[in-house]
Amino acid sequence: MTEPRCPLPIPFGWFALARSADLAPGQVETVQAFDTEIVLWRSEAGQARAFDPICRHLGAHLGGGKVTGERLECPFHNWRYDADGSVGEIPYAANVPIAARRPGCVKTWPLTEANNLIYVWRHPAGAEPLWAVEDFLPGGAAAWTLASQHDWTVGVHMQEITENGVDYPHFLFVHGVKSTPIPQWKIEGIRRHSVAKAAMETPRGLVEGQIEGNHIGPGQSAIRFTGISDVLLINSLTPIAREQTRARFDFYYPAHLDEGAAKGARAVARNVAFQFDQDKPIWEAKRYLKRPILCEADGPILAYRAQYAQYYVGGGEAVAAE
C-alpha cells in the first residue's frame, strides 16, 4: 500500500455539503463526504435533513427513497422516517417496533443552512456542534447578487489547501503577482482573520485595494475584496475523504452595484478562481512535511498548523508521525 501524502485525519467541524438551491422540497440526494455517504433530503415544508444511508429494516439505501410530507420513505418496504431518524410509520403494519421508534434509529447529522449552503457538523467521536455556523452575507442574502460559482474536487488533504493563504511567496511564483501580499493576522480560537492591503494595476492606473479574510473552523471562509471592486467570496472546503477535498467558491457582489461595477466584480471572481486552477496540480502532487525547512521570508505556516490541530481529536499529532 502506498504511504499517504498527508497522514492527518479528517478534521471535525461544519462543512458545506450542498448548495441550498440544489435541494428542492421533496428532493433526495446522496453525497460523498467524510469518507462515507450521507443522504440529504428536504421535506415538503422545506426542512433539510442529513441521514445515514442505510435503512435499519433490511438495509436498503435511503438515497433511492422519496419524501412524503415531512417524512423520508425507504424504497424497499416504505418504512417512513421522521426528522429525528425514528420510524414514524410502517404502511403494512399496525405497530412500529420499539427499536425503530427511537430517535436516531437511523443516524441523523446536525444540519444548518446559511449563506445559501447546507452545512453538516462532523465529529468522529459524535460530539455535538462546538460552535455555530457563521453568517457571511451582511445585510442578508437579498443584499447580494451571485456573480459566479466554481467547484473542484482536489486530490489533497483539506488542511493543505488553506495553508496556501499563509504561504506568501507562492503568490509570486505560482500566481505571478508582482509583490508578495503580507497580511496582518489575528488568530483567536476557531477564528483566523487577515487583512492585506494591495495596490492593484488596473486600466485606471494603480488602485489601493484590500483583501480581508475570515476563516471559521476548517470548513468556512469568506474573503472580501474591496478597492478595485467589491466582491465577497464564500469559500467552502469539505473533506470527501482524507485526501480528497471538495472546494466550492461562491462569489457575490452587493446587489446595488451598477453594471460596470458588476462586470469588474465578475472579472475579480474569474481571476481568483483561476488562481485555484494554478494551485491544484501542486497540491495534488505535494507531500505534507511535518518538519518543513522554512526561511525568514516564509509566512506563518507553523502558527497556521498549530491552530488547525484543534480540529483533530487529540490534536492530530499521533497520526501525523513522520
Write down the least CB distance from residue 60 to ligand FES, Å. Answer: 4
Residue choice 100, 242, 279, 311 for contact with Fe ion (CB under 5 A): 279
57 is an interface residue for ligand FES by CB under 6 A: yes
For ligand FES, the closer of residues 93 and 206 by Cβ is 93
For ligand FES, the closer of residues 97 and 315 by Cβ is 97
Question: Which one of Fe ion, ligand FES, none is in contact with 81 (Cβ closer than 5 to 8 A by kind)?
Answer: none
152 is an interface residue for ligand FES by CB under 6 A: no
Distance CA 12, CA 218 (A): 8
For ligand FES, the closer of residues 76 and 276 by Cβ is 76
Write down the least CB distance from residue 28 to ligand FES, Å. Answer: 14
DSSP 3-state assignment of 142?
helix
Residue choice 43, 108, 159, 164 for contact with Fe ion (CB under 5 A): 164
Q: Are 213 and 162 in contact (CB under 8 A)?
A: no
For Fe ion, the closer of residues 17 and 166 by Cβ is 166
Distance CA 194, CA 280 (A): 23
Question: Which one of ligand FES, Fe ion, none is in contact with 58 (Cβ closer than 5 to 8 A by kind)?
Answer: ligand FES
Question: Which one of Fe ion, ligand FES, none is in contact with 76 (Cβ closer than 5 to 8 A by kind)?
Answer: ligand FES
Write down the least CB distance from residue 90 to ligand FES, Å. Answer: 8
157 exposure class (CB count in 10 Å sphere: 0-12, 13-18, 19+): buried
Question: Which one of Fe ion, ligand FES, none is in contact with 169 (Cβ closer than 5 to 8 A by kind)?
Answer: none
61 is an interface residue for ligand FES by CB under 6 A: no
For ligand FES, the closer of residues 100 and 147 by Cβ is 100
Using alpha carbons only, give the angle 271, 273, 275 rounded to the nearest 5 degrees: 75
Contact flags string 65-84 toward ligand FES, x per CB under 6 A: ---------x-xx-x-----
From residue 86, give the alpha-carbon distance in Å to each of 60, 72, 76, 95, 127: 16, 10, 17, 13, 20
Write down the least CB distance from residue 75 to ligand FES, Å. Answer: 7
Write down the least CB distance from residue 62 to ligand FES, Å. Answer: 8
Give all strands of the β-sheet with 13-19 in edge-to-edge order. 13-19, 117-122, 111-114
Per-residue burial over 233-261, b if 16 or more Cβ lie within 10 Å, else e, is bbbbbbbbebbbbbbbbbbbbbeebeeee
Distance CA 217, CA 297 (A): 26
Which stretch of DSSP H or E encloses residue 159? Answer: helix 158-163
For ligand FES, the closer of residues 19 and 77 by Cβ is 77
Give DSSP secondary structure letters for 275-314: HHHHHHHHHHH----SS----TTS-SHHHHHHHHGGGSGG
Chain residues in the site for Fe ion (CB under 5 A): 164, 279
Chain residues in the site for ligand FES (CB under 6 A): 55, 57-60, 74, 76-77, 79
